[in-house]
Structure 1
Amino acid sequence: MFWIGCHLSAGKGYLAMGKEAEQIGATVFQFFTRNPRGGSVKALDRGDIDAYIAFGEERGVGTLLAHAPYTMNPCSADKGLREFARRMMEEDLERLELLPNVMYNFHPGSHVKQGAQVGIAMICEMLNEVLQKGGKTPILLETMAGKGSEVGRSFEEIRQIIDGVHGHERMGVCLDTCHVYDGGYDVVGNLDGVLEEFDRVIGLERLRAIHLNDSKNPMESHKDRHEKIGAGTLGLEAITRIINHPKLAQLPFYLETPNDLEGYGAEIALLKGRREV
């Protein structure tokens, strides 16, 4: 099965997202857990959740990816913002326990001139507190482009966070193709080498999802500006190699390209046509 989908608006509910995904040929989808630029969250609708679960089981929808809001910064210099991040993650994960097949993805955060090691220690502190609450939902650290004071700009920083939570079995990684390319990993000219490095530093068993995006900028630009598939510096041929690579092909791919629903449908059809394995 080719698990390919995109980012959908959660405003209409889970069942509506499931139907939109089916409409554009997606087999998985991603959504924000709450306002991506704020912190507000909709009231739970248990009826909608139950209806989506039945729909997803009937249609064979794959693993969903819940994306934390951009405002969640567990390594902020402000203690109040760190506490806000912890409460937000705990609440998100508590709600996601109601879904049977979902993962939780978040940006590790920005250390805001405190230094990467200070930031990593703060992220680990939050994760250790959250993980003590229990639960089943996998928590994914997203690879970042290295813009400003972002933590997670290298495989080594991601590994330090995982080590800081004692290699907890719920911890995984979401690799963003735009981010790693902008961060200096040559997934265009040396995909095998990048995956070997990921395996050596983190371990491919931790890789649970792919954000499939082209980039508006050259490698090692540290800019983080996504582009439509085939219209950026990665290009269609490199992205084709990514979706067909034997070490990646069984993972779920989630598009975050600058598109509307129709555009996502066109990209999904294009990528399905390029799928070989």
Structure 2
Amino acid sequence: MLTIGCHLSTSKGYEAMGRDALKIGANTFQFFTRNPRGSKAKDIDPEDVERLLNIMKEHNFGKLLAHAPYTLNPCSNKIETREFAKIVMEDDLKRMEYLPNNYYNFHPGSHVGQGVEKGIEYIIELLNEILKPEHTTTVLLETMAGKGTEIGRNFEELKAIIDGVQLKDKIGVCMDSCHIYDGGYDIVNNLDGVLEEFDRIIGLDKLYAIHLNDSKNPFSSHKDRHEKIGEGSLGIDTFANIINHPKLKYLPFYLETPNELEGYGEEIKVLKGLYIK
């Protein structure tokens, strides 16, 4: 079965996200834990969460993917910025225990001129402080396109972070199709080769989720502009190959394309039509 969803807004609550997912034929979804451009988080209503959990159980949902705010920079050169990231992510992981055994995704951040090694050192330090044995959530590092001083632009950088994390069972990777193509991994012409490289460097056992996004940019542009499925430089055949690949097809897929709910529904319908059971 294809496990696929899109990014939904938490503004109407958790149950509403579950019902919106059902409306568009999704069986999972991604959501921001709080304001994506700020830090404010709504109080959690346990009864609302319980209604979502009932929907998920009834309709056999896959893993949910929570996304940290874009404002976080865990490897900033400013101690107050790193401390802000720690406080937010620590709180997010506590909140995620209302939705146990799901995923929490974040952008590794930008080293802002300090150098990759120092940036990675700060990310490892943060993760080792906030990850606890009792957490049921798996934290995912997102693959990045490599713009500016982003960390996570290649598999080696993600591997270095994972190697430094003490609780290895709490950490994994979310692969973004737009980001890695923009970052120089040719999933259009050599998907097998890219996956072999990922497996050799990180290990496919650490790949937990995939963001499905086409790209407005050409290959290896090191930018980050998502496009609707089949309307960008990756093309529809690439997505058919990804969702049907024997090493990927059982992972959850999350759309982050420039769409409203109806548009996501159309994309999900197209991808379901391409999926080979």
Do both proteins adopt the same fold according to a TM-score greater than 0.5, normalized to the shorter chain? yes
Match of 1:211 in 2: 211
Confirm or deny: 8 A CA contact 1:7 1:31 kept in the other structure: yes
What secondary structure does 1:173 align onto? Answer: strand
What aligned pairs does 1:139-178 form with structure 2 within 5 A after superposition? Answer: 139-166=139-166, 168-178=168-178
Q: CA offset at residue 96 of structure 1?
A: 0.4
Residue aligning to 1:180: 180
Give the letter for the 2:227 counterpart: E
Matched residues in 2 for 1:62 and 1:169: separation? Answer: 19
| Paired residue secondary structure (1:169) | helix
For 2:244, the aligned partner's letter is N
Task: Please state if 1:14 is matched with 2:14.
Answer: yes
Measure how far apart 1:136 and its partner are.
1.3
Partner residue in 2 for 1:89: 89
- TM-score, structure 2 normalization: 0.98
After TM superposition, where is structure 1 displaced by more than 4 Å over at least 4 residues in a row? none
Task: State the alpha-carbon separation in 2 of the partners of residues 241 and 214 from structure 1.
Answer: 13
Residues in 2 aligned to 1:116 and 1:70: alpha-carbon distance in whole angstroms: 19
Give me the whole-angstrom Cα distance separating, in 2, the residues matched to 1:132 and 1:111.
25
Q: How far 1:132 moved relative to its partner?
A: 3.9
Q: Residues 35-68 of structure 1, C-alpha deviation per residue, up to 9 Å, x if partnerless?
A: 0000010011111011111121112111100000
Letter in 2 for 1:272: K
Counterpart of 2:106 in structure 1 is 106
Q: State the number of aligned residues.
A: 277
- Deviation of residue 134 (structure 1)? 3.6
Q: Is the 8 A contact 1:35 1:69 kept in 2?
A: yes
2:256 alignment partner AA? E
Q: How is 1:9-158 mapped onto 2 (pairs within 5 angstroms)?
A: 9-132=9-132, 134-158=134-158
Give runs of aligned pairs for residues 220-239 of structure 1, distance below 5 A: 220-239=220-239
User: Where in structure 2 are the equivalents of 1:253-268 lying within 5 Å?
Assistant: 253-268=253-268
Q: Which AA in structure 1 matches 2:65? A: L
d(CA) in 1 for partners of 2:167 and 2:138? 13
Q: How many Å separate the matches in 1 of 2:214 and 2:3?
A: 18
Displacement of 1:167 in angstroms is 6.1
Residue 133 (structure 1) shift? 6.6
Q: Please, which runs of 5 or more residues in structure 2 have no aligned partner? A: none
Assess if the C-alpha contact under 8 Å between 2:102 and 2:136 holds in 1: no
How far off is 1:166 after superposition? 3.6
* Contact persistence 1:104–1:138 (CA under 8 A): yes
RMSD: 0.9
Structure 1, unmatched stretches of 5+, are none
What is the one-letter code of the residue matched to 2:219? Answer: M
Distance of 1:149 and 1:111 partners within structure 2 = 6
CA distance change for structure 1 residues 167 and 189 in 2, over 3 Å: closer, same or farther?
A: farther
Partner secondary structure for residue 66 of structure 1? strand
Looking at structure 2, the residues matched to 264 and 52 of structure 1 have their Cα atoms a distance apart, in angstroms, of 20
Letter matched to residue 138 of structure 1: T
Partner Cα distance (2:58, 2:276) in 1: 26
Q: For the residues of structure 2 that align with 1:131 and 1:33, how far apart are their CA atoms?
A: 17
CA distance in 1, matches of 2:105, 2:67: 5
Structure 1, 229-238 or 127-136: larger mean CA deviation: 127-136
Q: How far apart, in 1, do the equivalents of 2:194 and 2:133 lie?
A: 35
TM-score normalised per structure 1: 0.98
Name the residue aligned to 1:274.
Answer: 274
Secondary structure (helix, strand or coil) at the match of 2:30 reads strand
Q: Is the 8 A contact 1:62 1:101 kept in 2?
A: no
Alpha-carbon distance in structure 1 between the residues aligned to 2:212 and 2:168: 26
Q: Could you tell me how far apart the structure 2 residues matched to 1:76 and 1:129 are?
A: 16
